[in-house]
Amino acid sequence: MLPKLIKYILAETPKSQETEIFGWVRTKRDMKNLIFIEVSDGSCFSCIQCAFDRSAGLDKNTEDALSALTTGASVKIKGRLVPSPASGQAVEIAAESLLIIGSAPAENECGKTPLLDVPAYPLQKKRHSLEFLREIAHLRPRTNTFAAVARLRSFLSFAIHRYFREKDFHYLHTPIITSGDCEGAGAMFQVTTLDPAVMKQSADGSSDYTRDFFGKKTFLTVSGQLEAEAYASALSRVYTFGPTFRAENSNTTRHLAEFWMVEPEAAFFELEDNMALAEDFIKSVLKAVLDECGDEMKFFDSFIEKGIIENLQKVAQAEFTHITYTEAVKELEKAASSDSGLFEYKPCWGSDLQSEHEKFLTEKIIKGPVIVTDYPKGIKAFYMKMNDDEKTVRAMDVLVPRLGEIIGGSQREDNLEKLIRRMNEIKLKTRDYSWYIDLRRYGSVPHSGFGLGFERFVQYICGMANIRDVIPFPRTAGQAEF
């Protein structure tokens, strides 16, 4: 029989039924005859309390195990489920036997562990800094914070799949290795089996990739969008949800080199439909989290970001504000002119909005989520649909307080001539994108899509300040441990 998870045991009616639990010891309190052990199996927030009563007579193995038991050890405990006299918990285990499955050496009074070369279990009962916990990313899921983030992340990805399934979007698996640069930003990780030290040069001095594994230069994908467009041009509505990679050397609290992206792409959707989808998507998934992750959300509200539940409830109800990039820049310029020290970078039409501008816009000007549209073509990717002004494109970014950009998307250029003209303008080799251009040759339709940074969404929901703390094993410039 499979072990029963603690979250189910805690929900049972205590009738002195025989119960067996498995988990890791969080605390041990030895009070002469009574010994209390709190055990967690990560299935829920609460630990289960196991009370050993020495005066009732315990077997020798259990007595020995109790004296050897330390925080972090894995255990199997048998006993009876009884009402708990303590406040804050309905039930506890009147424990009869204890088996240590795996010990976790602790420091003794001399600051040494019994086994000389085994360092002590680092998660002792005190508050550890998030920076310290990042160094022990393999053990941090045993803390309340990281267990809660992990459960939230898991639920959130399920809720996202459920949302798109209910809206008739098909889940599409796009390749991780690619030869194209979707965003044209050049921040890609190269994938090669060639040894750079012995790489042959072609006659023109450039490296010869014909001998490489794929016979050409390849990279880890920055986005599954282009391939998603191909499938949206056949199945109408698709979405991807997978890892994406960016070799941006930006050491910020909202950038990772490896992150997960959710990218819906829909045929016969114009920019307005795309905005409506993004808003409905965010609100529906937020509602699902608030309804179904109550314990985790209460924890984040108490310990990570006060008031976050109320804030997200409001967002899930309110209408998102829409503003064009041109209007947004005017607002930012106005704010900057009345306070010269407000921004590090001066807002200016034609330059990308800096994170400080995005945050000011959503936190101070709009005071809530905002969708910014119609950005200058020069700061957006080649595939975005040109507006009649020939200066701006049908782009949309969703900005939220605390983070700034959480979604980037657009209506796509579906006109063959215009797409080719734009690609030539910015010197993209059309022959490298011939299959993508084909989509405009054969049965082209208006279509749109967007990308949501999954980790930013997790950050937004749980209030964690640093993106490194919402992905199990973060990859950033200079950091690929574990």
Q: Tokens standing for 229? A: 């467009």
Q: Give the footprint of ligand 4AD on residues 178-197 (CB under 6 A).
A: 182-183
Piece of the chain touching ligand 4AD by CB under 6 A; list 89-97, 386-394, 430-438, 446-454: 446-454
Distance from C-alpha of 135 to C-alpha of 103, rounded to nearest angstrom? 22
- Asked if residue 408 binds Mg ion (CB under 5 A), the reply is yes
User: Of ligand 4AD, Mg ion, none, which one does residue 456 interact with (CB within 5 to 8 Å by kind)?
Assistant: ligand 4AD
Strand, helix or coil for residue 364: helix
Piece of the chain touching Mg ion by CB under 5 A; list 55-63, 406-414, 419-427, 433-441: 406-414
- Asked if residue 255 binds ligand 4AD (CB under 6 A), the reply is yes
Instruction: Report the nearest approach of Mg ion to the CB of residue 325 (Å).
Output: 12
Piece of the chain touching ligand 4AD by CB under 6 A; list 38-46, 150-158, 278-286, 443-451: 443-451
User: Of ligand 4AD, Mg ion, none, which one does residue 151 interact with (CB within 5 to 8 Å by kind)?
Assistant: none
Q: Is the dihedral of CA 425, 431, 436, 439 positive or negative?
A: positive
Distance from C-alpha of 73 to C-alpha of 444, rounded to nearest angstrom? 61
- Asked if residue 474 binds Mg ion (CB under 5 A), the reply is no
**Which residue has 């200079």 as its token pair?**
478
307: left (phi over 0), alpha (psi -120 to 50) or beta: left
Piece of the chain touching ligand 4AD by CB under 6 A; list 168-176, 318-326, 345-353, 406-414: 406-414
Residue 476 per-residue DSSP state: B
| C-beta closer to ligand 4AD: residue 49 or 221 | 221
Instruction: Report the nearest approach of Mg ion to the CB of residue 305 (Å).
Output: 24
- Asked if residue 355 binds ligand 4AD (CB under 6 A), the reply is no
- Asked if residue 451 binds ligand 4AD (CB under 6 A), the reply is yes
Q: Tokens standing for 403? A: 């983070």
Residue 179 near residue 217, CB atoms below 8 Å: yes
| C-beta closer to ligand 4AD: residue 63 or 352 | 352
- Asked if residue 248 binds ligand 4AD (CB under 6 A), the reply is yes
| C-beta closer to ligand 4AD: residue 331 or 352 | 352
Nearest of 222, 213, 206 to residue 453 by alpha carbon: 222
Distance from C-alpha of 48 to C-alpha of 54, rounded to nearest angstrom? 19
Q: Is 137 exposed, middle or buried (0-12, 13-18, 19+ CB in 10 A)?
A: middle
Site track for ligand 4AD across 207-236, x = CB under 6 A: ----------------x-x-----------
- Asked if residue 463 binds Mg ion (CB under 5 A), the reply is no
Residue 204 near residue 183, CB atoms below 8 Å: no
User: Of ligand 4AD, Mg ion, none, which one does residue 447 interact with (CB within 5 to 8 Å by kind)?
Assistant: none
Nearest of 221, 232, 274 to residue 407 by alpha carbon: 274
Residue 155 near residue 464, CB atoms below 8 Å: no
Q: Give the footprint of ligand 4AD on residues 37-56 (CB under 6 A).
A: none
Q: How far is CA 138 from CA 24, 71, 111, 143, 448, in A?
A: 15, 16, 23, 11, 39
Residue 452 near residue 407, CB atoms below 8 Å: yes
- Asked if residue 408 binds ligand 4AD (CB under 6 A), the reply is yes
Residues that bind Mg ion (CB under 5 A): 408
Binding site for ligand 4AD (CB under 6 A): 182-183, 223, 225, 246, 248, 255-256, 259, 261, 263, 405-409, 449-451, 453, 455-456
